Amino acid sequence: MATATVTKGLEGVVAANSGICWIDGYAGVLAYRGIDIHELAQQSTFEETTYLLWNGRLPSREELAQFSDKLVDARRVPSHIFDLLRAFPKNATPMEALRTAVSALSMYDPAENAVDHDSNLRKSFALTAQFPILVAAYDRIRKGQKLVDPDPSLSHAANFLWMLHGEKPIDAASRTFDIALILHADHEFNASTFAARVIAGTMSDMHSAITGAIAALKGPLHGGANEAVMKMLFAIAKDGGDPVDYVRSLLAQKQKVFGFGHRVYRTEDPRATHLRRMSEQLSRESGNTKWYEMSRRIEEFVKNEKKLNANVDFYSASTYTTLGIDLDLFTPIFAVSRIAGWTAHVMEQLDDNRLIRPRAEYTGPEYPVRYVPIAQR
Amino acid sequence: MATATVTKGLEGVVAANSGICWIDGYAGVLAYRGIDIHELAQQSTFEETTYLLWNGRLPSREELAQFSDKLVDARRVPSHIFDLLRAFPKNATPMEALRTAVSALSMYDPAENAVDHDSNLRKSFALTAQFPILVAAYDRIRKGQKLVDPDPSLSHAANFLWMLHGEKPIDAASRTFDIALILHADHEFNASTFAARVIAGTMSDMHSAITGAIAALKGPLHGGANEAVMKMLFAIAKDGGDPVDYVRSLLAQKQKVFGFGHRVYRTEDPRATHLRRMSEQLSRESGNTKWYEMSRRIEEFVKNEKKLNANVDFYSASTYTTLGIDLDLFTPIFAVSRIAGWTAHVMEQLDDNRLIRPRAEYTGPEYPVRYVPIAQR
């Protein structure tokens, strides 16, 4: 029987044990395997962070080299999947393309149903290496551009920018993107990760869990938020008016201003700190400070007016735009990073599995309602 | 901050209000919108039950006629989707095909991102009508058979058997399958439905939510269980020994016997009652009583030995086999039914949405673990 208290949205409800991510929402702390996100953002790489998420500790120099090599070796996508991407209708969004391609990828996996740790780890390497290829390939296909092969000499972050733009990225761009990947790599039981764990909890396979995670990330309340932030900045720029007036009028109409507040953090989202700095730095280096300055003014206004802090999505919008990344790639890029955390969580779930099956508090017509034959209705 | 009590698998935790499905696990009651499943199984149809799940009450004769017509009209799948099914590698399982095809279908939806009630209702008609087409089509494609067009004169259940086998089903088969569809149409916050709600909770679209639900249903602890039951029956038949000896030896080896026990029911699963009766009836009519009798003996043994009741999966296995349905279509057929409930839950979730985002109880290395530079590791 269901207990009487309903916690809508499971807010504050503990769904399982997990040793991957530590969040202290009151102190504004985010840590992967105990290591503060600030230290990782300043000193680590996406490859090392992924090792940490999957293995629970930092690698030795040799372990990291082997790990990175394995990730480079896994940069392979069956040619049928590229055919699939080419066959999609041209208005298909990159998230639909990614979700469908990842679902199809299981058909080419040598042990699709296997959910033991070693099989899951192999699939985690494959998917983490394949995500940037799929995202870059679909973007080039829809633009009628030739695909760019992965470059094994480039890091995970730099290789993505290379495959996307067909130009070797400058170091500042690669490093900025690398940090963005580190910051988004995991966030405990966020909705997409939780969806992945619910799916994996039925002993379904890794590709199923990750397909469901992409499906959840696609929602505007989750991965879609930074896209919504950038749409607002574009609308303000087009409108030509003052950013603060624009946001004030949004608030007056009781509309949501995306990029502020967070279910878990009661203080500043620690990821926002780095994204603000990166957005500022990049905007100065590129000579285009427009988006950063607009963002800064909106942040100050919303903080004063609504006591809401900027979250991870707010400054990633201007950062990605300054990196030359299209609006509708923001969420796919979130997935390119979060796949590290999703796979870590699926492995953790399946290493000590329990079906995730909550109850509902029934609010419908009181049982028993009689079945009235149709002639008597 | 997380609370201290962890309820692994969210067992007994109430995740939200819902007016769709009432389960009393102790009394063995299942009701859709307050109407007992026994009354529905005996007197309703899948079409009427779907109306009930979506609208909260039984339809008038005229409403039901309109509803059924709309469902018949929605029996359309874009030709590109059939091309997609044909392009899949021949070893792709029907669940991988269904998951991928449903993910791709969103690309052809006229309002893919819309999550208002009317858009969701339109998509619910489309998906409910398309599921049987996709499952039947992929089965015929992989067998090298010509596709069979839907027949608008046939009911939802009969039309599926027609498209699958290319022969008009006898009435007993259609009615049996119709009842199976009614029995599986909803089951409150089971893992696949819950996955759909977690995904929809981010305001993601209907196709995303349903793709995730298929992904969860695919797991052997969920939709895969009746397939596992039938595999056991086949293994026993091949082995030639006594069914009870076989199951006794499984239990002695501490292996799971699929088709018994349920997270929610503490007494007999009310759906099992009907499936047992249908399995018996069909087996007598077809003159093949082997699977039914084997099932009956196993049920009695497990009940005496382990005090476990047969669940919905146990007798659906022999029922589907007697209907001439392949083993690996059992779970897709579950989806053909459950789509009615999944869509009802996604509509309910989005009509009064709250992001579903629980917390984890952190069990990893204590914060803060220092980031040690690689040269010092």
- What is the per-residue pLDDT across B278-307, written as a single tens digit (0 to 9) for each? 999 988 888 889 999 999 999 999 999 999
Q: What pLDDT is attached to residue A264? A: 83
pLDDT at B266 (0 to 100): 87
Phi, psi dihedral angles at B22 (to 5 degrees): -115, 125
Q: What is the CATH number of the domain that holds A190?
A: 1.10.580.10
Question: What is the model's pLDDT at position B4?
Answer: 47
The number of distinct structural domains making up chain B is 2
Does any domain span residue B14? no
Contact at CB, B204 and A215, closer than 8 angstroms: yes
CATH number of the domain at A298, please: 1.10.230.10
Q: Show the domain range for B96.
A: 21-222+332-351
Q: How many CB atoms within 10 Å of residue A320?
A: 26
Name residues of chain A where pLDDT drops below 50: 1-4
Yes or no, beta carbons of A377 and B61 under 8 Å apart: yes
Using alpha carbons, select from B86, B74, B128, B80 the residue that is nearest to residue B104.
B80
Q: How far off is chain B from A289, nearest CA to CA, in Å?
A: 32
Average pLDDT score over chain B? 94
Between chain A and chain B, the number of residue pairs with CB atoms below 8 A apart is 418
Residues B101 and B196 in one domain: yes
pLDDT in tens, A19-58: 999 999 999 999 999 999 999 999 999 999 999 999 999 9
Question: Using CA atoms, how far apart are residues A218 and A334, in angstroms rounded to an integer?
Answer: 10
**HEC profile of B278-289:** HHHHHHHHHCCC
Report yes or no on A231 lying in a domain: yes
Q: Is the pLDDT of residue B1 over 80?
A: no
* Residues B306 and B257 reside in one and the same domain: yes
Residue-level pLDDT at A5 = 62
Task: Report pLDDT for B9.
Answer: 82
Residues of B in contact with A221 (CB under 8 A): 201-203, 355
Neighbour tally for B27: CB within 10 Å: 13
Q: A212: part of which helix (H) or strand (E)?
A: helix A206-217
Contact yes or no for B368/B8 (Cβ under 8 A):
no
Contact across the interface for A192 and B201, Cβ inside 8 Å: no
Pairwise CB contact (< 8 Å): B40 & A371? yes
Q: Report residue B3's pLDDT band, with 50, 70 and 90 as the boundaries.
A: very low
**Residue B117 falls in the annotated catalytic set:** no
List Cα–Cα distances, B3 to A11, A12, A15, B359, B360, in angstroms: 10, 7, 10, 9, 9
| Whether residue B340 sits in one domain with residue B295 | no
The answer to the question of residue A269 being in a domain is yes
Residue that is last in its domain, among A281, A302, A322:
A322
Q: Helix, strand or coil for residue A4?
A: coil
My answer on whether B236 and B275 are in the same domain is yes
B160 and B250, same domain (yes or no): no
| In-domain check, residue A229 | yes
From the list A8, A13, A208, the residue facing B99 with the nearest CB is: A208
Whether B339 maps to a domain, the answer reads: yes
Rg of chain A over all Cα atoms, to the nearest angstrom:
22
Residue B5: pLDDT band (50, 70, 90) is: low
Rounded distance between C-alpha atoms, residue B54 and residue A35, angstroms? 48
- Report which secondary-structure segment, H or E, holds A24: strand A21-24
Task: For residue B370, give the nearest of A225, A73, A31, A9 by alpha carbon.
Answer: A31
- CA–CA dist A316, A334 (Å, integer): 10
Is B365 inside any structural domain? no
pLDDT, average across residues B223-236: 92
Lookup: tokens for B52: 């009930």
Q: Check whether residue A301 and residue A168 sit in a common domain.
A: no
Same domain for A162 and A250, yes or no, is: no
Residue A375: inside a domain, yes or no?
Answer: no
Q: Which of B45, B116, B194, B198 to substitute to test the interface with A, most A CBs within 10 Å?
A: B198
Domain for residue A5, yes or no?
no
Tell me if A7 and B17 make a contact (CB, 8 A cut-off): no
Tokens 């055919």 correspond to what residue? Answer: A83
pLDDT digits (tens, 9 = 90+) for B251-285: 999 998 999 988 788 888 999 999 999 999 988 88
Q: Are residues A72 and A166 in the same domain?
A: yes
A35 and B CB contact within 8 Å: yes
Q: What is the pLDDT of residue B2?
A: 39
Name the percent of chain B lying above pLDDT 90. 85
A110 plus A40 within the same structural domain = yes
Write the ipTM. Answer: 0.95
Same domain for B196 and B51, yes or no, is yes
Q: Are residues B240 and B174 in the same domain?
A: no
B30-76 tens-digit pLDDT: 999 999 999 999 999 999 999 999 999 999 999 999 999 999 999 99
pLDDT at A185: 98
What pLDDT is stored for residue A372 in this prediction?
97
Active-site pick, B165, B207, B262, B345: B262
**Are B207 and B92 in a shared domain?**
yes
